[in-house]
Amino acid sequence: MRLQLKAPPAIIVWPAVLILLVGFGLWQLIPKPPSTITMTTGGERGLYYRFGVQLAQELAKERITLQVLPSAGSAENLKRLEDRSQNIDLALLQGGVGSPEQQPNIFALASVFDEQIWIFYRRQAFKEPPTQISQLRDKRISISMPGSGTRVLGLELLKLGGLSADGQTFDVKLMDLDARESLKSLGSKTLDAALLVAGPQTPIIAEYLSSPELGLMSLVHADALALRMPYLKSTLLPRGAINLAQDLPRSDTKLLAATATLVIHEDIHPALITPILKASEDALKKMGLLQAEGEFPSAIGFSWPHDEDAKEYLKKGPSFLYRHLPFWGAVWADRAIRLVLPLLIIIVPLIRYLPALLKAGIEARLSNIYRQLRALEKRCEADRSLAWEEELSEIEHRARALRVPKKYAVDVYTLRMHIDLARDHLSSASR
């Protein structure tokens, strides 16, 4: 019978089975990102909602579906994001809404644009153009609807102007009106002033500016207010910036601006951070906002903890995989890398010790046959009439059936030689 020089199946099969099982387990433990996510924005006529729609169009190019939900504003967005039963992944928040201490599970991706704070007033309601918050005393004013970030910001400005305390207003009459309703009420003289937070390109801002009965407050305390409210900044709106042909506004105006921040809940899959930020860059370029090129998305302008993946993206750009592969291709490649590294921890030591394990296994099988051969010889020495031929033939058959690598073939041939010697010895002893 010819010797078959092959590795024992158990030595190869069981490590392979172990590696496959570990690999399958790790693959299941590394979840792929969802293909559908949800974002809460703002009113359907506002800049927040417009940004969400544009962001959805950009993410669709990466086969990611973004569901865009309108809302009453930042305050409602924050509540939705915290309520995990609503499964909200993304939100836009206006500066000053919420705090990291009260909402520790919220993280910022980037600030995406500035929104100016506009205080329009009915000219006939004031003896001279107002330039300070305190001049709104005894007036009927609107600071948007409850649940909006504008409302939160407006109450804080009234407090600094000495017109409110502990959430209660005095010396002013607050009216719950949105931007469109406020414009109508100003026209009908049932409202004296309205505070809005909106981007300069928002169509309704041009409507306010074009009304001869309305004026836009230029805040002399804009710098001081920005110092007291770090999430705001002082900005100068140049004459004609809104509509050059109509000369709107008709003078340089000092305003405050609040930064809109794109935030996430910590539960979001980290692989989604890169496509969201890349899509944000592309969305902002197509929205035609009045801001310097490359200014947004930005790593400054918010008080929320900055997500580490987002910080890395804004600092260095997308990773190698995301620069050279489509999003889902990069996702699968990243998962494969995350799978291979733990497997290498198992495979590398296994490869190092496999020869020793293989040798030990072969030596154990050879020793077992030698023990049987020695036991047979001892029994025959004790009883020379013992029939040994059949048992020795069985031992020889086992020796010939051994499958070992070529390196250990000599050990098998040595065993077979010893079996032949034992046969000669036993034959001589039994004569």
135 and 243 fall within a common domain? yes
- Kindly report, residue by residue over 44-102, the tens digit of the pLDDT: 888 899 999 999 999 999 889 999 999 988 889 999 999 989 999 999 998 888 889 99
The predicted pLDDT at position 57 comes to 96
> Which residue from 49, 171, 184, 27 is spatially nearest to 120, judged by alpha carbons?
184
Tokens describing residue 395: 């031992």
The predicted pLDDT at position 3 comes to 43
276 and 362 fall within a common domain? no
Helix (H, G, I), strand (E, B) or coil at 2: coil
Please tell me the distance from the alpha carbon of residue 166 to that of residue 216, in angstroms, as a whole number. 28
212 and 106 fall within a common domain? yes
The predicted pLDDT at position 389 comes to 83
| pLDDT tops 60 at residue 37 | yes
> Which residue from 359, 352, 351, 395 is spatially nearest to 7, judged by alpha carbons?
359
| 413 beta partners | none
Please tell me the distance from the alpha carbon of residue 216 to that of residue 210, in angstroms, as a whole number. 11
Where a domain ends, among 269, 297, 318?
318
First to last CA, the chain: 29
- Kindly report, residue by residue over 400-428, the tens digit of the pLDDT: 888 888 888 888 888 888 888 888 877 87
Over range 15-28, report the average pLDDT: 55
Amino acid at 289: L
74 and 106 fall within a common domain? yes
| pLDDT tops 50 at residue 38 | yes
Over range 185-205, report the average pLDDT: 91
Over range 299-318, report the average pLDDT: 86
CA angle 161, 165, 171 (to 5 degrees): 65
Out of 40-49, 120-129, 180-189, which region has the weakest mean confidence (pLDDT)?
40-49
DSSP letter at 25?
Answer: H
Q: What percent of the chain has pLDDT over 70?
A: 83
Buried b (16+ CB within 10 A) or exposed e, 4-35: eeebeeebeeebeeeeeebeeebeeeeeebee
Q: What percent of the chain has pLDDT over 90?
A: 38
The predicted pLDDT at position 1 comes to 38
Q: Are strands 36-40 and 65-69 parallel, antiparallel or unpaired?
A: parallel
The CATH code of the domain that includes 291 is 3.40.190.10
- Kindly report, residue by residue over 125-143, the tens digit of the pLDDT: 999 999 999 999 999 999 9
- 205's enclosing H/E stretch is helix 203-210
Average predicted confidence (pLDDT) for the chain? 83
| pLDDT tops 70 at residue 323 | no
Over range 319-328, report the average pLDDT: 60
| Structure confidence at residue 214 as a pLDDT band (50, 70, 90) | very high
| 117 beta partners | 197, 256
Cβ atoms < 10 Å from Cβ of 144: 25
100 and 240 fall within a common domain? yes
| pLDDT tops 70 at residue 26 | no
Helix, strand, coil shares of the chain as percentages rounded to 5? 50, 20, 35
103 and 206 fall within a common domain? yes
254 and 389 fall within a common domain? no
Contact call for residues 71 and 41 (beta carbons, < 8 A): yes
pTM: 0.66
* 306 φ/ψ angles, rounded to the nearest 5 degrees: -90, 125
15 and 131 fall within a common domain? no
- Kindly report, residue by residue over 334-391, the tens digit of the pLDDT: 555 655 666 566 666 766 777 777 788 888 888 888 888 888 888 888 777 788 888 8
In a domain, 324, yes or no: no
The predicted pLDDT at position 312 comes to 85
377 and 308 fall within a common domain? no
Judging by beta carbons within 10 Å of its beta carbon (0-12, 13-18, 19+), is residue 313 exposed, middle or buried? buried
Q: How many domains does the chain have?
A: 2
| pLDDT tops 80 at residue 159 | yes
44 and 13 fall within a common domain? no
| pLDDT tops 80 at residue 294 | no
Domain range spanning residue 366?
A: 9-21+348-429
Cβ atoms < 10 Å from Cβ of 371: 10
Higher pLDDT, 85 or 201: 85
In a domain, 137, yes or no: yes
Q: Which of 97-101, 151-155, 253-257, 283-287 has the highest mean pLDDT?
A: 253-257
